[in-house]
Amino acid sequence: MRVVCLNNISPTGLNEFTKKYEIIDDLTKAELIVVRSAQMHDIDLPKKLLAIARAGAGVNNIPLDKMAEAGVVVFNTPGANANGVKELVIAGLLIASRDIVGGVNWVKANQTDEAISKSIEKAKVAFGGNEIFGKTIGVIGLGAVGGKVAEACFNLGMKVIGFDPYLSDEARSTLPNEIMLTDNLDQIYKVSDFMSLHLPLLDSTRYMMNEEVFEKVKPGCTLLNFSRDALVDDDDLEQAIASGKIKKYVTDFPNYKTANMENVICIPHLGASTEESEENCAYMACHELMKFVETGTIMNSVNYPRIDPGKQESVSRIVVLHQKEDLMVQFMDILFNKPVLNIITKTKGSKSVTIFDIDEDIPLDCLHKFKELEGVIRVRKIS
Ligand code: MLT
């Protein structure tokens, strides 16, 4: 199996690939891709591409629907870099509350002053601030990163109010009881001294922080965005900063506009740039790919359903990616008289995966019959 890495990927992950896998440079020959932030929207699809693993959570650099239509399963690595991002969010909170950056820059600019230890005491008045203890933070999105941010803020003595309409019972049970949950964003806007965004960039979340919202926020609120830049309407943000509604904006996703705005603290997308996060993401991404190739298992895909067929006990396993419609009758016609031991089928959105375990070798013509069925996107025999 030929693997192409579109970014630098930690050797901790790549070294996990067994001998069956070869890391190559030629994208046109890729059967598997590991990617971090490289833009994939304009690349020509390699003909034999089976799957892509994004070493990270956000997948807005990958054309998910196009990949799904082509039978390319896209994975991400939720949670693998969550601690790294959480720690940077906490740093963001602190550098927004006190002018630590201004102070550090002042020392650098005055490093030739032999009396600096005295001058500091006069100069420091310009770099004061507030403590975060006792302040209220609204955490919007309580997934892998948001949940950790909420918990860390609570442990730092903040009042935490969280919003996440998709919060699983499991995720809810790991949050401290003192964290207040709301299903009404307006409540968050009204009371928060800080708001932190932890949700994916989708059509439904694009520019969710806009004029209408800024009108509702508590005056002097600080907005933290360690998710994606386009969650925030930059023109509306500029107005909100000018009016004092938003005191500071801290972002790990600067763009030309925000990089040039007053009261904006820009970090160059460093959330997951820790050795630990890079290793965790790479490890998880490479294992997701191998598991899919070798067993058909799909965990953490963003464009195909989760499916776990378990250990293969049969002679053959066939993995069929297809449109959502029920093709079981046609499938069983093709497999008529074959010793089918197990069938598992799962659906997500408009795409389904069906896996057959069959206790005899399945000839190529049988696979061709599957491929010819309308609605079938890809058929693969594991062994
Ligand atoms: C993410 O979406 O998880 C981050 O953007 C990862 C990264 O920095 O590559």
Nearest CA to ligand 1 atom 4: 56
For the chain, the straight-line distance linking the first and the last C-alpha, in angstroms and rounded, comes to 14
Q: Are 55 and 282 in contact (CB under 8 A)?
A: yes
Domain check: are 281 and 358 in the same one? no
Cα(224) to ligand 1 centroid in Å equals: 16
pLDDT of residue 193: 98
Whole-prediction pTM = 0.92
CATH of the domain at 312: 3.30.70.260
Q: Which two tokens stand for residue 295?
A: 């067993």
User: Considering its fold, how many domains does the chain have in total?
Assistant: 3
What is the spatial distance between Cα 357 and Cα 366, in angstroms, rounded to a whole number? 14
pLDDT in tens, the chain (383 residues): 999 999 999 999 999 999 999 999 999 999 999 999 999 999 999 999 999 999 999 999 999 999 999 999 999 999 999 999 999 999 999 999 999 999 999 999 999 999 999 999 999 999 999 999 999 999 999 999 999 999 999 999 999 999 999 999 999 999 999 999 999 999 999 999 999 999 999 999 999 999 999 999 999 999 999 999 999 999 999 999 999 999 999 999 999 999 999 999 999 999 999 999 999 999 999 999 999 999 999 999 999 999 999 999 999 999 999 999 889 999 999 999 999 999 999 999 999 999 999 999 999 999 999 999 999 999 999 98
Domain check: are 90 and 231 in the same one? yes
Domain check: are 232 and 148 in the same one? yes
Domain check: are 324 and 353 in the same one? yes
Identify the domain containing residue 327 by its residue range.
305-383
Domain check: are 109 and 236 in the same one? yes
Q: Which two tokens stand for residue 32?
A: 């598997």
Last residue of a domain, one of 217, 249, 266: 266
CATH of the domain at 208: 3.40.50.720
Domain check: are 178 and 98 in the same one? yes
Cα(62) to ligand 1 centroid in Å equals: 13
Domain check: are 252 and 104 in the same one? yes
What is the spatial distance between Cα 170 and Cα 144, in angstroms, rounded to a whole number? 12
Domain check: are 90 and 189 in the same one? yes
Nearest CA to ligand 1 atom 8: 272
Cα(353) to ligand 1 centroid in Å equals: 28
User: What residues contact 193, with CB distance under 8 A and at least 6 apart?
Assistant: 135, 136, 137, 218, 220, 221, 222
Nearest CA to ligand 1 atom 6: 56
pLDDT of residue 364: 93
What is the spatial distance between Cα 198 and Cα 265, in angstroms, rounded to a whole number? 18
Domain check: are 58 and 154 in the same one? no
pLDDT of residue 68: 98
What is the spatial distance between Cα 240 and Cα 233, in angstroms, rounded to a whole number? 10
Domain check: are 130 and 239 in the same one? yes
Domain check: are 126 and 244 in the same one? yes
Domain check: are 110 and 256 in the same one? yes
Q: Which two tokens stand for residue 30?
A: 């890729």
Cα(117) to ligand 1 centroid in Å equals: 40
- Compute the residue count for the chain: 383
Say if ligand 1 is within 6 A of residue 272 CB: yes
Say if ligand 1 is within 6 A of residue 81 CB: yes
What is the spatial distance between Cα 51 and Cα 73, in angstroms, rounded to a whole number? 5
